[in-house]
Amino acid sequence: MTQLEPDRGDEACSVYDRAVPVGPDVLRVTANNPSPFTSWGTNTYIVGTGTLAVIDPGPDDAEHLKLLLSIIGDRSVSHIFVTHTHRDHSALAAGLKATTGARTAAHGPQRRLKPTGGQGEMLIEAGIDFTFMPDLVLHDGDVVGGDGWSIEAIHTPGHAANHLAFGLVGTGTLFSGDHVMGWSTTIVAPPDGSMAAYIASLDKLLDRNHTLYLPGHGAPMTQPLDRVRTLRAHREMREAMVLTRVRDGDRTVPDIVRALYSRTDPALHGAAGLTVFAHLERLIERGLVRATGQATMDGLYELV
């Protein structure tokens, strides 16, 4: 059995060689894939003490699989839950399933995407796992029972259309995936991502009473509803800023990105452009902005 140590907060997220307890009968194992988009790395969670559940197996990495199997030991795994089909969350599901015989469970496979144009399109395609196909398709409100645990699927589209959060029934714990993270705001990248859906999903979580969020990246959140409210306010503020830039004459996504993300690493401007485009889509839905032609990353925008 791999050594365990108490969670010390953010710094414990960079522990890559052991499991970290983050709740009753919940262990976090962080994949060694740190980046500007993954923080310290992708969090895999192991739930239970007898027959286990694994949430977000992580990237297709042999060392991460080896560590997970070491922690699992001679116990059985009945289910592998996947929050969404981005490679850093779902790609290892096939390898873990082949070794453990567990069933994979998710909202569904990744849908094919229509082109959006711009430099962000390659970023979207590179990060998506088109090969994942769940054994068990979960819909909003479905509950899967296991050995001493029950997990509820909560459909939270926005970051991805097939994104699920998972509630650990009877504990107040929510595995929030990439929908709510403590270390960063979430990238919302059309066409699979939707800002309107993302904000609606935040509102959905505000109506629930979870007291601990365990995210796909970063440390646990012990004041999660405050974090949700902060994220929602930030998105509304950012959208107001995008509208102001269009009002002041910026007509393209790159123009708006340069104005609003001037202090951001240029390497992240592609991701920022996707989020700006998502806000423009919502502004179009609200009747405040229109595209002069097709609404794409390369399109032209103006006030209505």
Q: What is the DSSP code string of 215-229?
A: ESSS--BSSHHHHHH
Stretch 238-265: mean pLDDT, rounded?
94
Compute the mean pLDDT over every residue in the chain, rounded to the nearest whole number: 91
**Based on the number of CB atoms within 10 Å of its own CB, is 78 exposed (0-12), middle (13-18) or buried (19 or more)?**
buried
Task: Pull the structure tokens for residue 57.
Answer: 């197996």
pLDDT-derived band at 183 (thresholds 50, 70, 90) equals confident
* 124 vs 275: CA distance, rounded Å: 12
Task: Give the pLDDT confidence score for residue 57 in this predicted structure.
Answer: 98
Least Cα distance to 59 among 37, 43, 45 occurs for 43
- Four-CA torsion 245, 250, 252, 258, nearest 10 degrees: -70
Determine the average pLDDT of the residues in 96-100. 98
User: What pLDDT does residue 119 have?
Assistant: 53
Using CA atoms, how far apart are residues 217 and 205, in angstroms rounded to an integer?
Answer: 18
Query: To the nearest whole percent, how much of the chain has pLDDT over 90?
Result: 77
112-155: pLDDT as tens digits? 666 555 555 555 655 889 999 999 999 999 999 999 999 999 99
Q: Is 289 helix (H, G, I), strand (E, B) or coil?
A: strand
Domains in the chain, please, with CATH? 10-223 (3.60.15.10), 233-303 (1.10.10.10)
More confident residue, 124 or 273: 273
Provide the pLDDT for residue 114: 60
The Cβ of residue 182 has, within 10 Å, a number of other Cβ atoms equal to: 20
Contacts of 239 (CB under 8 A, 6+ apart): 195, 279, 282, 283
The distance from CA 237 to its chain's CA centroid, rounded to whole angstroms, is 21
Task: Look up the pTM and report it.
Answer: 0.92
Task: Please return the burial class of 123, using the count of CB atoms within 10 Å of its CB with bins 0-12, 13-18 and 19+.
Answer: middle
**Looking at residue 126, what is its pLDDT?**
59
* pLDDT value for 37: 83
Quote the pLDDT of residue 124.
60
Residue 2 pLDDT greater than 50, yes or no: no
